[in-house]
Structure 1
Amino acid sequence: MVDSTLTFIWLQLEKLDIEYWKWVAWLIYPVIISFLLPLVIPICLYCCAIFLHVYQYRHRLRDAYAVDFWGGAKKTVAVFWEAQGRIWHGYEIVGLNRLPETGPAMIIYYHGALPIDFYYVMAKCLLEKQRQIHAVGDNFLFNIPGFHLMTEVFCVSPGTVHSCAGILENGHILGIAPGGVREALFGDEYYRVMWGNRSGFAKVALQTKVPIIPMFTKNIRESFRTPGWGRSSLRWIYEKCRLPIVPIYGFFPVKMITYLGQPIYPDDSMTPEMLADQVKQGIEKLIEDHQIVPGNILRALSDRLTCKEKED
């Protein structure tokens, strides 16, 4: 008798629980309709804006496809990224003229949580200078399913000293972020350059005698960020397995301006460590001149309204 009574009570409570959640769903349904669904309209408008931006390049894209199929594909992607940067971040680049029209050069850049600024530079260079920037990517990138074709088409390689020297000797522009994934995941809004003892790029520059162009993008850390909690533990795990296990959040529409500094020319009297230190100082000078630290997301958002640079 007691068991059947308890069972009856349990069934009634379970039924009450279901009815309660139905009532909660009914209560918040108007909120969902009123506030969340209207977000579909801005998303659609944003997609339309990107499409129209791409469409205005239709003649150039058609010519590119007629000459080289993969060249056309690369320019289509480049136009998409150029539109994305212009519309979402009000993206600008200062010093693009410092990249040579022909011949080799090396771009050394500060690595944000995601190197979206480097994608924008690659797109800009491809569209305006008709030059493909080759890039060095972390090893884990080449193990991501579906990425192989993209890394091949956009000339991304693991980047040994020998392969980097070969790229430059063939007259290409090469982009390297010496801080790599460590700087991306464990850097913060204070914009400290985290290269450790890495000087491989300097060995390549001394071997090939190519100019090094330092690069930094204002507010790159305010566009995407990594959480501050548990950072020491996550870094310990990263150093053991070398996998990008730190979560990334953001994609805030902050103002972004990329600055390309004055070229630094290797000198035979320099050691790789001396050259690497000089380039590091060049990037730190760009940060000091153009970035308020610590970075602030609200300030970076307000820069969209007040900050505008002109190509020098």
Structure 2
Amino acid sequence: MKISFIQFFFLQYEDTEILYVLKWLLCPIIVTFLLPLMIVVLLYISSFIAHIYKLRWKILAERHGREWASAQRKIAYQWILYGRIYHGYEVRGLENLPSTGPGLIIYYHGAFPTDVYYFFAHVLYYRNRIINSVVDYFLFKLPGFPILTECLKLTIGTKQTCLNILKQGKILMISPGGVYESQFSHQYNLMWKNRIGFAKVAIDAKVPIIPIFTENVREAFRTVSICQKLLFKLYTLTRLPVAPIYGPFPVKMITHVGQPIPYDPELTPEQLQVKVADAINHLIKVNQRIPGSILHAMVDRIPLLQERHKQKGDVK
């Protein structure tokens, strides 16, 4: 019986590591053109789930209170599944997140916050805690999103609102760089300007700050790096994300949760801001390859090659 060259190749090397490598390398490439569309689909499926539960409350108002827990878990599960398939998403250091009581999470903002969705879902499923997140106001204006912001505990984040959330013993998540950082930080540089509002809130609420960073978040989505002056002027005028985004690429994503920074009454807001920035920069330095590489970030999904690179000391 005649066999093709490809059949001969696989028969020849079926007992080697090549098939294992090809499995991990080709799987994300095959789904590159299909799963990116799922991000938009999942966002609106999440909104649809929230609408269904809201309608259910109206019909059964006499017997059921308005409780989002069931809807939140259904929404979280689909993001866990998508993140696991498309980005091999993991969380490391989740034990650093307090299991009870308040805490303020501070993170580096990627071009598109898929890592925030994944992290929210993991904390809900594996720590049974809801994260309240501060987001930009324009999200409240997108069709279908207002109910989602209510269900997933998203807020514009005035100082008083943030204080109230923390004083209720909840977890709050803030990116000091916000949309500005997501649009114009191309090499994992923090762009916080002189923003110390989060530090003031943490000091007033007397809560610990938990720094986190997601590895390869800039390789999953990227913003164009041309016409920066024009894009910056447009952003200054509109405060909207005007820089075009491209992606997502099926890179390995790992959210690293750093050691909590405890409340210290001796620190000023400016000093606390520097301390938190240093903690996040340390997470970036230890865990992120700079300059970023989409190709290398995809190779990171292959456990065998990743382990070999680590042994050689050239992963990061």
TM-score by length of 1: 0.77
CA distance in 2, matches of 1:95, 1:68: 33
* 1:140 is the counterpart of 2:128: no
* Residue aligned with 1:123, SS: helix
CA distance in 1, matches of 2:228, 2:294: 20
Letter in 2 for 1:244: P
Give the CA deviation at 1:129: 1.3
* 1:219 is the counterpart of 2:216: yes
Letter in 1 for 2:201: V
* Residue aligned with 1:304, SS: coil
* 1:192 is the counterpart of 2:192: no
Specify the structure having the higher radius of gyration (Cα): 1
Q: Which residue of 2 aligns with 1:87?
A: 85
Q: Which residue of 2 aligns with 1:97?
A: 95
Letter in 1 for 2:189: R
* Residue aligned with 2:110, SS: coil
CA distance in 2, matches of 1:307, 1:126: 29
Q: Which residue of 2 aligns with 1:270?
A: 267
Work out whether residues 90 and 256 of structure 1, in 8 Å CA contact, stay in contact via their aligned partners in 2.
yes
Q: Which portions of structure 1, spanning 4 or more consecutive aligned residues, are displaced by more than 3 angstroms?
A: 65-69, 306-309
* 1:255 is the counterpart of 2:255: no
* Residue aligned with 1:72, SS: helix
Letter in 2 for 1:211: P
Letter in 2 for 1:264: I
Give the CA deviation at 1:268: 1.3
Q: Which residue of 2 aligns with 1:242?
A: 239
Identity of matched residues, %: 48
CA distance in 1, matches of 2:219, 2:260: 27
User: How many residues align structurally?
Assistant: 252
Alignment deviations for residues 128-175 of structure 1 (CA, whole Å, 9 cap, x no partner) = 111100000011111222210000111100101111010000010000
Q: Which residue of 2 aligns with 1:59?
A: none
Letter in 2 for 1:110: Y
Give the CA deviation at 1:232: 1.7
Work out whether residues 266 and 275 of structure 1, in 8 Å CA contact, stay in contact via their aligned partners in 2.
no
CA distance in 2, matches of 1:103, 1:265: 13
**Larger proportion of helix:** 1
Alignment deviations for residues 87-107 of structure 1 (CA, whole Å, 9 cap, x no partner) = 111111111111111100011
TM-score by length of 2: 0.76
Q: Which runs of no fewer than 5 residues in structure 1 stay unpaired?
A: 1-38, 52-64
CA distance in 2, matches of 1:88, 1:307: 17
Letter in 1 for 2:202: A
